[in-house]
């Protein structure tokens, strides 16, 4: 981090009034002092590589140049990772330094994030032995090709076909229709030479559902598409410009039998199909990534909050009191209302991610012992937390952008790009509504079990407690608020269930009744997610090892999250819990007191995310607060400022002006 010598005086004052030790917060957030040291050490190593620095901002490059620059940097970055591993005999620590290098999304994201994990998770030991060393050392580059032009959400409807030919012991891949073309996979456009293709398996004319296959699609020397492969890039998007998303179609393209990933289901040489223990295990990589996305949401909320809070400390506009100088905009309560929830939410998502990661690891361990009991709970929880956290994080980033006024609209603030990247997670890895409806299936089953007095899984056991406790008075404490959100979820789950029953009594079948109740079902899943986020984050804060000074501030943040959402969803609480109007008025006052209490620590709190200037990549958010200088420095980099008179003057403007004289 930069020294404070050239720092904006407002930021120096802000840091001086912080009531806790920022380094303690950093170490707590990232796990330990050792973890912080190792992460910073690795970040230093990456940032020391001169070739990773961009000569001009990426926004001035063409689509093609931007991609090529992305690949160039991704390959250098990969060398730094390899060298680190060779030197330390372990992977680099978790870090976000790719953001400082690639800025947008790496063309290797899908290779590392889904291709390698799918081989590891879906391949037999022999298949892992064949492909993992090559993939991990980047001798081959891959992606995860599942979504098609016609189907993304409903993956049982995918149209890519893999027909087994027992004579040659091969699968024949085909994309018989335009809608069957793979569409979206990252890196597919021009980067990868392999992919995991998810396709419908046919043996002797019989369908056996969707399965993952490894296909080499480009020549390793020439990088030309292999015969029978049609592949390309899908064009510019809202973000993800350097992710190199692509399309792909096969025409009678043959791959050996061993290329079907067979940890779960298998196809024997003679074409016998052997079912796996659970066909949904084929969806395993998606579950893992959904868990990871909750962690990503924490990062993006922290990044946007750091930029907007520091900027708001530096920016002065208007007066609170006519007799005093222009106020720091951070002193306006409305500004605090916009920003502090982003700071608090980053902590909430971080705690939820750590909690989910534990659940994921436990279930994977159980699955390795053929125990599947907790898989439905993992799937349901990953679905709803991914759906709610990504949408909330997108809204928080946008609110931070708006809170920076006009300058938040500048690309150099890095908030527009951050919004584009964050909001993509609402759609990828399972569209929000679709995932919430998956959780709703689980909630309906849990509700039916609760009615029968059965024991429920831990994440839904509150449904049973709520059944018993519905008459207890409301308590205006954090624990009381957590209970309140559980009551809301309970009420919405019950109402959705009863709505389905009502339609069925009217003669509708279950599927139609489900569709007619689906707005309520989605809301029940959202309420369930909110209850989990509130409970998990409050418990994490209460059990943290922080010093009293830090603990006080972390509790304030967690309470801010609880009260913010109480006030946002007060209608639901009035409907489904025993909260009263008077309780809400007390909580409104409490919320405002929390904003005022957090205000002196606002800059310290975002410093506690320990995001370097290179990662923030923002004129508004740097540690030293030289906002106006940076805005001007960046503007001067515009190619239009590299010449006094642009040629368009002579070509168009002057002729127009001269014509106008005639
Ligand atoms: C530990 C942390 C590690 C962190 C690592 C993080 C790495 C991050 C790096 C990468 C980051 C970003 C990558 C971005 C690029 C984006 C990639 C993509 O988008 S890839 C494509 C993703 N596509 C989707 O997500 C598709 C969404 N659709 C589906 O998943 C399915 O179609 C679904 C689930 C909606 C419906 O499936 P299906 O029709 O087969 O099921 P049913 O609805 O009939 O349900 C039947 C039954 O099955 C249960 N079920 C469904 N899925 C699962 C599952 N995954 N696991 C367990 N069980 C599952 C469902 O609940 C039903 O149960 P029932 O008892 O019958 O109710
Ligand atoms: C940036 C980005 C990167 C991606 N990367 C990859 C990748 O690397 N590999 C890959 O395979 N895919 C990738 N995808 C694709 C992504 O996984 C899909 O776009 C996503 O799963 C949503 O599917 P869809 O586009 O078919 O949306 P649709 O399902 O068509 O959604 C459109 C609307 O229909 C609604 N809808 C659909 N089904 C239902 C239902 N059953 N009930 C109620 N409403 C419904 C949705 O709620 C939504 O409002 C990427 C997408 C993006 C945006």
DSSP at 304: H
Q: Is residue 168 part of a domain?
A: yes
Where a domain ends, among 245, 276, 307?
276
Mutate to test the pocket of ligand 1, among 379, 420, 431 (most ligand atoms within 8 A of CB): 379
Q: Tell me, what's the pLDDT at 411? A: 98
Banded model confidence at residue 186, pLDDT cuts 50, 70, 90: very high
Where a domain ends, among 607, 630, 645?
607
**Residue 94 burial (CB count, 10 A):** 12
Q: Which residue's CA is the closest to the ligand 2 atom numbered 47?
A: 433
Q: Is residue 349 part of a domain?
A: no
Mutate to test the pocket of ligand 2, among 233, 240, 427 (most ligand atoms within 8 A of CB): 427
Q: How many angstroms separate the Cα of 359 from the Cα of each of 371, 375, 615?
A: 14, 10, 30
Contact by Cβ (8 Å): 277, 372: yes
Q: Is residue 306 part of a domain?
A: no
Chain centre to alpha carbon of residue 304: 14
Three-state helix/strand/coil letters over 185-222 = CCCCCCCCCEEEEEEEEEECCEEEEEEEEEEECECCCC
614 counts as catalytic? no
Where a domain ends, among 227, 242, 276?
276
Give distance in angstroms: CA of 280 to centre of ligand 1: 8
What is the number of the ligand 2 atom nearest to the C-alpha of 151?
26
Domain that holds residue 557: 467-607
Ligand nearest to the CA of 438: 1
Percent of the chain with pLDDT over 90: 97
Q: Which residue's CA is the closest to the ligand 1 atom numbered 47?
A: 280
Helix (H) or strand (E) holding 419: helix 415-424
Q: Is residue 57 part of a domain?
A: no
Q: Is residue 8 part of a domain?
A: no
ipTM value of the model? 0.98
Q: Which residue's CA is the closest to the ligand 1 atom numbered 44?
A: 156
pLDDT tens per residue, range 448-487: 999 999 999 999 999 998 878 766 899 999 999 999 999 9
CATH of the domain at 601: 1.20.140.10
pLDDT tops 50 at residue 4:
no
pLDDT tops 50 at residue 183:
yes
> Within 13 Å of residue 326, how many CA atoms lie on the same side as its CB?
9
256-266: average pLDDT: 97
Mutate to test the pocket of ligand 1, among 237, 286, 378, 393 (most ligand atoms within 8 A of CB): 286
Q: Work out the burial of residue 171: count CB atoms within 10 Å of its CB; fewer than 13 is exposed, 13-18 middle, 19 or more buried.
A: buried
**Token reading at 466:** 């709520």
pLDDT tops 50 at residue 263:
yes
What is the number of the ligand 2 atom nearest to the C-alpha of 237?
1
Q: Is residue 155 part of a domain?
A: yes
Q: Tell me, what's the pLDDT at 101? A: 97
CATH of the domain at 128: 2.40.110.10
What is the number of the ligand 1 atom nearest to the C-alpha of 434?
35
What's the N-to-C CA distance of the chain in angstroms? 62
pLDDT tops 60 at residue 3:
no
pLDDT tens per residue, range 298-352: 999 999 999 999 999 999 999 999 999 999 999 999 999 999 999 999 999 999 9
Give distance in angstroms: CA of 430 to centre of ligand 2: 6
What is the number of the ligand 2 atom nearest to the C-alpha of 429?
17
Q: Is residue 389 part of a domain?
A: no
* Number of domains the chain is built from: 2
Label residues 115-125 b or e (16+ Cβ within 10 Å = b): bbbbbbbbbee
- DSSP string spanning 437-493? HHHHHHHHHHHHHHHTT----GGGTHHHHHHHHTTSPP--SHHHHHHHHHHHHHHHH
Give distance in angstroms: CA of 58 to centre of ligand 1: 34
pLDDT tops 60 at residue 416:
yes
* Ligand 2 pocket by Cβ (under 6 Å): 110, 144-147, 152-153, 184-186, 240, 245, 424, 427-431, 433-434, 437
Chain centre to alpha carbon of residue 661: 58
Ligand nearest to the CA of 426: 2
Average pLDDT, the chain: 97
Give distance in angstroms: CA of 327 to centre of ligand 2: 45
Q: Is residue 11 part of a domain?
A: no
DSSP at 241: T
Q: Which of 14, 170, 399, 429 is catalytic?
A: 429
pLDDT tens per residue, range 137-182: 999 999 999 999 999 999 999 999 999 999 999 999 999 999 999 9
Q: Tell me, what's the pLDDT at 467? A: 79
What is the number of the ligand 2 atom nearest to the C-alpha of 105?
1
Whose tokens are 């991609």? That residue is 67
């Amino acid at each position: 981090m930069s020294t404070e010598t050239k720092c904006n005086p407002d930021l120096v004052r802000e840091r001086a009034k912080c009531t806790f030790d920022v380094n303690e917060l950093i170490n707590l957030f990232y796990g330990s002092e050792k973890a912080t040291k190792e992460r910073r050490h690795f970040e230093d190593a990456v940032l020391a590589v001169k070739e990773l620095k961009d000569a001009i901002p990426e926004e001035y490059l063409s689509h093609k140049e931007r991609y090529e620059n992305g690949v160039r940097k991704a390959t250098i970055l990969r060398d730094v990772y390899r060298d680190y591993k060779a030197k330390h005999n372990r992977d680099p620590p978790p870090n976000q330094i790719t953001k400082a290098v690639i800025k947008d999304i790496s063309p290797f994201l899908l290779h590392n994030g889904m291709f390698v994990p799918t081989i590891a998770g879906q391949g037999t030991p022999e298949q892992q032995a064949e492909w993992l060393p090559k993939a991990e050392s980047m001798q081959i580059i891959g992606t995860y090709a599942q979504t098609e032009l016609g189907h993304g959400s409903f993956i049982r409807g995918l149209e890519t076909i893999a027909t087994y030919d027992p004579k040659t012991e091969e699968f024949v891949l085909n994309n018989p229709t335009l809608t069957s073309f793979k569409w979206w996979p990252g890196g597919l456009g021009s980067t990868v030479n392999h992919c995991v293709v998810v396709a419908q398996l046919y043996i002797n004319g019989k369908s056996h559902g969707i399965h993952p296959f490894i296909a080499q699609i480009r020549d390793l020397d020439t990088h030309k598409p292999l015969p029978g492969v049609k592949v390309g890039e899908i064009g510019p998007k809202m973000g993800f410009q350097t992710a190199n998303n692509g399309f792909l179609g096969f025409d009678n393209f043959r791959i050996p039998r061993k290329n079907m990933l067979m940890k779960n289901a298998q196809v024997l040489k003679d074409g016998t199909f052997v079912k796996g223990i659970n066909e949904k295990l084929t969806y395993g990589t998606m579950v893992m990534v959904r868990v990871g996305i909750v962690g990503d949401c924490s990062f993006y909320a922290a990044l946007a909050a750091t930029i907007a809070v520091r900027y708001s400390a530096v920016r002065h506009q208007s007066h609170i009191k006519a007799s005093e100088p222009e106020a720091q905009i951070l002193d306006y309560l409305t500004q605090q209302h916009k920003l502090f929830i982003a700071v608090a939410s980053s902590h909430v998502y971080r705690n939820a991610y750590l909690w989910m990661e534990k659940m994921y690891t436990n279930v994977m361990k159980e699955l390795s012992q053929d125990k599947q009991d907790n898989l439905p709970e993992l799937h349901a929880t990953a679905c709803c937390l991914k759906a709610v956290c990504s949408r909330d994080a997108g809204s928080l980033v946008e609110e931070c952008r708006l809170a920076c006024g006009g300058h938040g609209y500048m690309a150099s603030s890095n908030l527009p790009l951050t919004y584009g990247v964050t909001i993509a997670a609402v759609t990828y890895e399972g569209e929000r509504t679709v995932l919430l409806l998956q959780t709703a299936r689980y909630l309906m089953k849990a509700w039916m079990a609760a009615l029968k007095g059965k024991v429920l899984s831990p994440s839904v056991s509150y449904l049973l407690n709520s059944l018993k406790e519905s008459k207890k008075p409301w308590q205006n404490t954090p624990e009381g608020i957590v209970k309140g959100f559980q009551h809301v979820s309970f009420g919405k789950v019950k109402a959705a269930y009863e709505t389905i029953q009502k339609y069925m009594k009217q003669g509708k079948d279950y599927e139609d009744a489900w569709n007619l109740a689906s707005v309520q079902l989605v809301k029940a899943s959202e309420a369930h997610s909110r209850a989990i986020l509130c409970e998990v984050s409050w418990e994490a804060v209460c059990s943290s090892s922080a010093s009293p000074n830090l603990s006080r501030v972390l509790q304030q943040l967690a309470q801010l999250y609880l009260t913010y959402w109480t006030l946002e969803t007060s209608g639901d609480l009035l409907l489904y819990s025993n909260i009263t109007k008077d309780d809400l008025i007390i909580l409104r006052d409490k919320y405002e007191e929390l904003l005022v209490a957090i205000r002196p620590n606002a800059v310290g709190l975002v410093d506690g995310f320990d995001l370097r200037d290179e990662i923030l990549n923002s004129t508004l958010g740097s540690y030293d607060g030289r906002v106006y200088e940076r805005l001007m420095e960046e503007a001067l980099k515009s190619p239009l400022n590299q010449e006094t008179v642009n040629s368009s003057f002579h070509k168009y403007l002057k002729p127009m002006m001269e014509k106008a004289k005639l």
